[in-house]
Amino acid sequence: MRKYWPLYAMALPGIAFLVIFKYVPLLGSVIALQDYSVFRGLQDSPWVGFKHFETLFRYPDFQRVLVNTLLLGALKTILAFPIPVMLALMINEVRHALVKKGIQTALYIPHFLSWVIVGGIVFDVFAISGLFNIVIGWFGYDPVLVMQDSRFFRAVYVITGIWRDAGWGTIVYMAAISAIDPQLYESAMMDGASKWKQMLYVTLPLLMPTILILFLLDIGNFMELGFDHVFNLLTPMTYSVGDILDTYVFRTGIQQAQYSFATAVGLFQSVIGFILVHTFNRMSRKISDGGLW
């Protein structure tokens, strides 16, 4: 530590962030087992065991909310996760430096828009007088209230997620690709490998460990779809397919000041996430001999 103290000093802000915002709040998870009162505090609030978990499981719409959460999580993982990988592979094949940087910048920009702004854009595009209905009107179709139709909510959720975050997700993959030894590509070219085969047999296999790690990190948030993303796209007509655990907690836990209940739901989501990470990590170790641990 004396020899490498500058490195430890550089790590201190990150360690402090983890301790303050990740580990210390874990102590507050005990309120899931209490009827927590802000005025009584942790010590004097009565213990009620698993009362709030039972309330969650007995909630009449719990099955619908859980199914919506699982379906949107599955769609997000299956459809949205591979997109940054494909974008990174395609961007890597662009040889003109200026064009390459321009494409990357254009793909990064949407990430800096808040979901409030993205939601406003989406509602404007799909409004009766919006761009979508204008275009389909050219082909003789009647206007469609996309944002008020439950059939389209999940598709809109996935597409907006890809549009906003796919470009930002390429950063790690581009960094991993840039670390690949150029001699491997030279050897492949000498063996007659085309650009497609170089990408398929050199880039992709060497990128796989990074893909695996990011997939395991992403699967841990399987149940946490992003409250702001869903909430800013929801309408009363799409609650049947768009109401998830996060929005349910907001209505019942936050707005009604049921903090213990909200914490219980958060713990439930975390346990599911831990089980998924542990399961997929064991699978990855058997398949590729790699994983988070």
Check residue 159 and give its pLDDT: 94
36: helix, coil or strand? coil
Check residue 62 and give its pLDDT: 85
Check residue 258 and give its pLDDT: 82
Check residue 135 and give its pLDDT: 94
- Distance separating alpha carbons of residues 181 and 148, to the nearest angstrom: 51
**Under 8 Å between Cβ of 107 and 113:** no
pLDDT tens digits, residue range 112-167? 999 999 999 999 999 988 999 999 999 998 999 899 999 999 999 999 999 999 99
pLDDT tens digits, residue range 37-65? 888 888 888 999 899 899 888 888 888 88
Burial class of residue 3, CB neighbours in 10 A (0-12, 13-18, 19+) = exposed
Q: What is the pTM of this model?
A: 0.85
- Conformational region of residue 145, where left means phi above 0, alpha means psi within -120 to 50, and beta covers everything else: beta
Burial 141-157 (b: 16+ CB within 10 A, else e): eeeeebbeeeebbbebb
Residues 6+ apart with CB under 8 A from 61: 243, 248
Which of 162, 129, 157 is closest to 144 using CA atoms? 129
Q: How far is CA 261 from CA 39, 51, 56, 253, in A?
A: 17, 9, 8, 6
Check residue 191 and give its pLDDT: 87
Which of 212, 107, 225, 121 is closest to 165 using CA atoms? 107
**What stretches in the chain show pLDDT beneath 70?**
288-292
- Distance separating alpha carbons of residues 79 and 165, to the nearest angstrom: 13
Check residue 29 and give its pLDDT: 86
Check residue 289 and give its pLDDT: 67
Residue with tokens 């997000």: 76
